[in-house]
Amino acid sequence: MDNLTHSLVGALIGQAGLKRKTGLAMPALIIGANLPDVDAACFFWLDGVEHLGFRRGITHGPIAWVLLPLLLAGLLYGFDRWQARRGKRPEARLPVNFKWLYALALLGCLTHPALDWLNVYGIRLLEPFSSRWFYGDTLFIIDVWLWALLGFATWFSLRREKRGGEWRRPARIAIAVGLAYIGVNAGITAQQERHGSLHAVIAFGEHIRIGNGFVLEGPVAAEVIANPVPFAFWKRELMFGRDGRWLQEKCWTYDDCFAEPLGEPICEFPDMVVGHTDNSQLDAFLFWSRAPFAERAPDGSVILRDARFYDPRARDRFSVALPDVECEPLANPSP
């Protein structure tokens, strides 16, 4: 998720009452909720799409969950002592307890991978013990409805606290509503993936049309992705693929749907990309990509893209060019 969402989650946990456990609790929660994103520093030394193979890995895994909060708690504790020695420590600040600082930094840090798992980008939750990617396919990476809920609840809780009212209850209610919202979205994704599995079989397998329905013959191994979209949280962008060929579902009505290929024109998936290569850009892309397919470049070469992020306005951010590989058109590009 985006860093505003991470920050609001940390702040809301504090407003639920935990900020009264120790001095500097809110910085521990808010900074802790963003701490795994220190891997964004990789943009300073990695080129092109190499960052795709580095992000959401080692700093989002179990070792980082323990060590990053420990580092943050030590820095905050040292900062408090440094202010006290200089006579600059605010009088209103609660006494700082290192154990509580660490516990809150750890809690904030754990919310980060939990939220990152919810979108289609993916996260390597077990790094460095395993490089497997996990996908929740539940929320769009920037969810404005979650922003509105968390932002309003944080503001309302702070306002009540300033006026001497009950300020913990609004935060706790907002956390419960936020969890329910995530649960509803998970249910929508599950329902849409079941719907998409039927269309994947229709698109990739043998079928016989009978009236408005289908009689299907034989299972088809195809991956189905229900991709959340911006703003309309109740909708999903359904796509399904197999062997480097990805189709996107288009519907005129709920019962009148068809699948069209992603990429135009598309190519056979190049054999040279399988296994180890000496191209660091290609290696990083293939390690990260969940739905790769090959598209013909204007010069007849190949561009590898990912179906999850096939957007004409930003697709170069998630693609790698293979100028020395010739595009071989699919024998049967239509579903």
Task: Report the alpha-carbon distance of residue 201 to residue 213 in Å, rounded.
Answer: 13
Burial pattern 310-334, b for ≥16 Cβ within 10 A else e, equals: beeeeeeebbbbbeebebeebeeee
H helix count then E strand count, the chain: 7, 10
* 50 and 98, same domain (yes or no): yes
* 245 and 279, same domain (yes or no): no
What is the pLDDT at residue 317? Answer: 80
Q: pLDDT tens digits for 158-215?
A: 999 999 999 999 999 999 999 999 999 999 998 888 776 655 555 555 443 433 444 4
Region of poorest pLDDT, from 8-22, 196-210, 238-252, 266-280: 196-210
Task: Report the alpha-carbon distance of residue 200 to residue 219 in Å, rounded.
Answer: 10
Nearest to 241 by CA among 288, 196, 273: 196
* 130 and 102, same domain (yes or no): yes
Residue 165 lies in a domain: no
Residue where one domain finishes, among candidates 216, 242, 258: 258
Residue 141 lies in a domain: no
* 128 and 241, same domain (yes or no): no
Residue where one domain finishes, among candidates 214, 241, 258: 258
* 213 and 248, same domain (yes or no): yes
Residue 159 lies in a domain: no
* 237 and 309, same domain (yes or no): no
What is the pLDDT at residue 198? Answer: 59
Domain of residue 222 covers: 189-258
Residue 13 lies in a domain: yes
Averaged pLDDT, 82-108:
95
Q: In the structure, what pLDDT confidence band is assigned to residue 245 with cuts at 50, 70 and 90?
A: confident
Q: Please answer whether residues 319 and 303 qualify as being in contact, where contact means their C-beta atoms are separated by less than 8 angstroms.
A: yes
Q: Which helix (H) or strand (E) holds 284?
A: helix 280-288
pLDDT over threshold 60, residue 335: no
Mean pLDDT of the chain: 86
Region of poorest pLDDT, from 7-11, 218-222, 261-265: 218-222
* 86 and 206, same domain (yes or no): no
Coil/strand/helix, residue 46: coil
Averaged pLDDT, 263-289:
79
Residue 160 lies in a domain: no
DSSP label of 198:
H
Residue where one domain finishes, among candidates 102, 136, 170: 136
Region of poorest pLDDT, from 193-202, 227-236, 238-247: 193-202
* 296 and 241, same domain (yes or no): no
Residue 273 lies in a domain: yes
Q: Which helix (H) or strand (E) holds 293?
A: strand 292-296
Q: What is the DSSP string of 180-191?
A: HHHHHHHHHHHH
pLDDT over threshold 70, residue 216: no
Region of poorest pLDDT, from 121-125, 227-231, 246-250, 310-314: 310-314
* 8 and 132, same domain (yes or no): yes
Q: In the structure, what pLDDT confidence band is assigned to residue 247 with cuts at 50, 70 and 90?
A: confident
Domain count, the chain: 3
Coil/strand/helix, residue 134: strand
DSSP label of 139:
S
* 253 and 277, same domain (yes or no): no
What is the pLDDT at residue 196? Answer: 64
Distance of CA 297 to the CA centre of its chain: 29
Residue 175 lies in a domain: no
Averaged pLDDT, 19-44:
95
CA distance to 116, 121, 277, per residue, from 52 (Å): 15, 10, 16
Joined together, the tokens standing for residue 64 give 């980082």
* 295 and 211, same domain (yes or no): no
* 32 and 116, same domain (yes or no): yes
Residue 177 lies in a domain: no
My answer on whether omega of the bond before 292 falls inside 30° of 0, hence cis, is no
Q: What's the one-letter identity of residue 17? A: G
What is the pLDDT at residue 217? Answer: 44
Averaged pLDDT, 278-284:
86
